Structure 1
Amino acid sequence: MDELVREWTAQLLDPGNAAALVVGAVALVLVLNRSTWPLLRNVVTIAHEGGHAVVALLSGRKLNGIRLHSDTSGLTVSTGRSSGPGMVLTLLAGYPAVSLLGLGGAWLVAADLAQVMLWVAIGLLVVMLLAIRNAYGVLSVLVTGGVLVAVSWLATPAWQALCCALFSWFLLFGGLRPIGELRRKRSRGRAPDSDADQLARLTGVPAAMWLLCWYLIGVVALLLGARWLLLMPQV
């Protein structure tokens, strides 16, 4: 552990990591700021509901549609057994999906594959658009995709790498904040049908344990993603 800490400290002090650190700080401000978070949280909701949808399909359920709302909430509807592994995995997938997408993006940035990351993200949004069932959801996906297309077409490779690093940092940080928000809502009795509560009813495992599981996944993804981003090619 001491060796790992020393290695990370050396990376942090390396001037070549200045850009990654600055971009990470910007992403953290965007997540924590009360003015920017309500708008940018739509991106997190897209990733969250996309996670539900992908796992629903992989587990053999039929995807009926996805709705994204202006209050940054979302709903993914699928049909199949109302209990069992498929339903459990579908409910489980939403919150970790955000952090895991950020982790995947961090790996691609570190591997100098920012262009690949952009087109993978755009492709996923195009596929997701086919499942959106409300106007605000269509708008949210189109705006997010439009920004990524603009970066891919107009930005230089160096700026593409920085933008992709920013996006990855944002998902890594942004994957954690909604878990804390859900915990506070549940403490006030305002989220009786949250993913965690539905999982608790299906499995008998307390909702708090699911929140802890999601939080640990998010923290591990953040630490690993941060390490990769600090190794991103210098721009």
Structure 2
Amino acid sequence: MESTANADLTDLWDRVFGTQAAPEQWLVIAAGVVALAVVVPHALWRLSRNAITIAHEGGHGLVALLTGRRLDGIRLHSDTSGLTVSRGKPTGLGMILTAAAGYTAPPLLGLGGAALLDSGRITAFLWIATALLVVMLVMIRNAYGALTVVLTGGTFLVVSWLANTDVQAAFAYAVVWFLLLGGVRPAFELQSKRRRGGAGDSDADQLSRLTHVPAGMWLFLFHAVSLCSLMGGGRWLLDV
């Protein structure tokens, strides 16, 4: 019985962390087109942006913990906004990194996902994403946020556990394309809001107050991270 259990664990390890064959190029391109189709149209973006908000607030929360801050909770709202509350020193490097992590998290997660897919670890990407969503669920403090994370995590779990390899590959590539492409748009939206005199308490403005560096420079950083991640991740996904 012990040998059977060990064999089952070995099989599970190989299934999750083993490598899978790269999908056909047409599937990779099709996944990118699907991701683009839910990012560009305003009506679909209003819905799909919830997933970007999960990554955005999750980035704040993760970096807050990594820098020694106490994470009190995360809220996700139906208007695709979010709020991450942490305790600790109100100034200093930890607070700066925490504030900077929101807009940079989705494209950097997409870049990391592209690296995993480029190495053939499709199932590993799906399981790592599921694990991150489970951890985030523990810190959610409102019903809408919990529902959003549960539905998203459930989708990842079902695909990673029940779907065949072709479906897993299509889903994984679509998700990574979505993070890369969807990670670009929020910085432009923030720039547009600030141009109209809105978003006075945005991450860029908070960073400006913390560092005395103009908010426009932080916006430039957000743009640079998202666009560079898209170019680098796209090259990995397309294998060029």
TM (normalized to structure 1)? 0.90
User: Cα distance, 1:231 vs. partner?
Assistant: 2.6
CA distance in 2 between counterparts of 1:138 and 1:98 reads: 19
Cα pair 1:63 1:78 within 8 Å, conserved: yes
Tell me, in whole angstroms, the C-alpha distance in 2 between the residues paired with 1:81 and 1:219: 32
Name the residue aligned to 2:19.
none
| Secondary structure of 1:57's aligned partner | helix
Identity of aligned residues (%): 55
Deviations 1:187-234 (A, max 9, x none): 1121010000010111111111101111111111111111111139xx
For residues 139-190 of structure 1, what are the alpha-carbon distances to aligned partners after superposition, in whole Å with 9 as ceiling and x for unaligned? 0100101111121122111210111000000000000101011111111121
**1:27-176 to 2 correspondence within 5 Å?**
27-176=35-184
1:53-110 per-residue CA deviation (whole Å, 9 max, x = no partner) reads 0110111110000000000000000011111111101000111110011111111112
- Please list every run of 5 or more consecutive structure 2 residues that lacks an aligned counterpart in the other structure: 1-23
2:26 to 18, 24, 28: 18
Question: How far apart are the structure 2 equivalents of 1:182 and 1:34?
Answer: 15
Q: Which runs of 4+ in 1 moved over 6 A?
A: none
Distance of 1:58 and 1:79 partners within structure 2? 13
Gaps of 5+ in 1: 1-15
Task: Measure the CA separation in 2 of the matches of 1:111 and 1:31.
Answer: 26
What residue identity is the alignment partner of 2:222? W
- From 213, 227, 232, the counterpart of 2:235: 227
Secondary structure of the 1:36 match is helix
Aligned partners of 1:220 and 1:36: how far apart in 2? 25
Query: Match for 1:121: what amino acid?
Result: A
**Cα pair 1:112 1:161 within 8 Å, conserved:** no
TM-score, normalised by the number of residues in structure 2 = 0.88
Deviation at 1:20, TM superposition (A): 1.4
Task: Quote the RMSD (CA, aligned, Å).
Answer: 1.1
State the Cα deviation string for residues 11-30 of structure 1 (Å, max 9, x = none): xxxxx522212211221111
Cα distance, 1:114 vs. partner?
Answer: 1.0
